[in-house]
Amino acid sequence: MSRSSRFHLPKLSVIDIASFFGALFLILLPWQARIIIFPGMLGVEYSEYGTFSFFINDIILALFLLSSAMTIGEFRARGPRSVAYGLTLFLLIAILSINNSSLQSVSFFAVFSLAVRGIAIALACTYATLHKSWLMWGVIVSGLMQSSLALVQFFSQQIVALPGFGMVDHAPATIGSAVIQVGSERILRAYGTLGHPNMLGGLLVVSLLCALWMFVYTKTRNTRLYAGASLILISAGLCVSLSRQAWIGAIIASVIFLGYCFFNRVRNSLMLGAALCLLLVPIAFVSTHVDLVYTRLFASSALEQNSIEERKDFLDQTQTIIRDNGWLGIGIGETTHYIYTHDRKKIDAYSYQPIHNVTLLIWQEIGLYGVVAWYALLLAPCILFFKKNLHAPNPFILALLALFIISWFDHYLWSLPFGISLFWMVYGLSLTEASSSG
């Protein structure tokens, strides 16, 4: 056998390795297989909030952070130093809030999760030299997998427990399952492999915006075809999640993106094709599920009204907590335990949830200084974008905008490991140029 005919493995640089692990982490992020290290307890009942777990995907995360750190050491960091200072200050404020917690073990684990699954990821994505296109395709593939599963769940109206993937049983008649009641019928929302349909919706919004960017700005025909097919399937998954907050975020971010393309004179055929891929499934879904969509949008059923009333109760609780502890907060991760200990009724543990608003949740847990630091960090990608006047909008800035909108209607981007990792990875990538996605 001649030397020329021998099989040779491709040579991988440290950038290739870090980018691979980053993309793999995004693909596996929704798969929630884990080992519970410290169960959160309210009295004698289990609570997800306050629980600290080791996720199987944490192994991939460790490899991504390690290989990313190697690229920072070998190549010049590309992100603004002020962001590193801001992230460090934000983490320090969270650490100091532990002193205010009545259950410091929970706050310690919450800080650890924020530091490793949040701030470390943001620093790696901001300063490491990575193939951004690999990460974009990672989140697109993740969205495709979740959308495919979501469609099966929605049309079969059943979610089968798969403990190895962190999935539990859900059915329309099961109490606690996320359903929409239309008349006498209960319609089960799609979960994917995640703990709630709204979490699925948040992931799919990010995937959708990356696929949209790929469709418009890629230079190869085959990649555009893949991106277009991805847009159609991911939009279908977003529809069956029945997540209003995700719909709002996706619509606003997509309109801004297409408007930016229009004013930068992107070819009309590309914009028309992107709009067609985006709208094809939603139009078909609305036309075939009019009553379901109407009920979801306008909260016309008793279940929807009960949900709204619950959120009003959470808001009242938060206003009281902020009034009494607004400057320094009650301690990161402490919300449900604090509410439980101050509630004389002592209802079931599932009923104790954080406020469905990340801004207010940060305020009540780590104080007013934490909120100021949070918004200062959120302004950084916007300032960087307008300062550089980029020709191609970074899809992750649009994704960050969508997640910010979602953060006003839900808490998982701050309270749960999946949301923490998703938000801070998008944040870090929003500080880099999409045109450097090599």
Within a domain: residue 33? Answer: yes
Place of tokens 């460090």: 88
Q: How many helices (H) and strands (E) does the chain have?
A: 18, 4
Weakly modelled stretches of the chain, pLDDT under 70: 1-10, 73-79, 388-392, 433-438
Domain count, the chain: 1
Judge whether 136 and 210 are in contact, CB under 8 Å.
yes
Judge whether 410 and 178 are in contact, CB under 8 Å.
no
pLDDT at 387: 74
User: 302: which 2 tokens?
Assistant: 């008793």
What is the distance between the alpha carbons of residues 319 and 48, in angstroms, rounded to a whole number? 23
What is the distance between the alpha carbons of residues 35 and 166, in angstroms, rounded to a whole number? 10
Which value, in Å, is the radius of gyration of the alpha carbons in the chain? 22
Within a domain: residue 9? Answer: no
Residue 127: closest CA among 88, 169, 181, 180: 88
What is the distance between the alpha carbons of residues 364 and 370, in angstroms, rounded to a whole number? 9
| CB atoms inside a 10 Å sphere around CB 297 | 13
Within a domain: residue 1? Answer: no
Within a domain: residue 117? Answer: yes
Amino acid at 107: S
Within a domain: residue 281? Answer: yes
Rounded to two decimals, what is the model's pTM? 0.93
Instruction: Name the residue range of residue 225's domain.
Output: 14-436
pLDDT at 389: 59
What is the distance between the alpha carbons of residues 325 and 61, in angstroms, rounded to a whole number? 35
User: 173: which 2 tokens?
Assistant: 């008649």
pLDDT at 6: 61
Within a domain: residue 244? Answer: yes
pLDDT at 1: 45
User: Cα 172 to chain center, whole Å?
Assistant: 25
What is the distance between the alpha carbons of residues 199 and 407, in angstroms, rounded to a whole number? 11
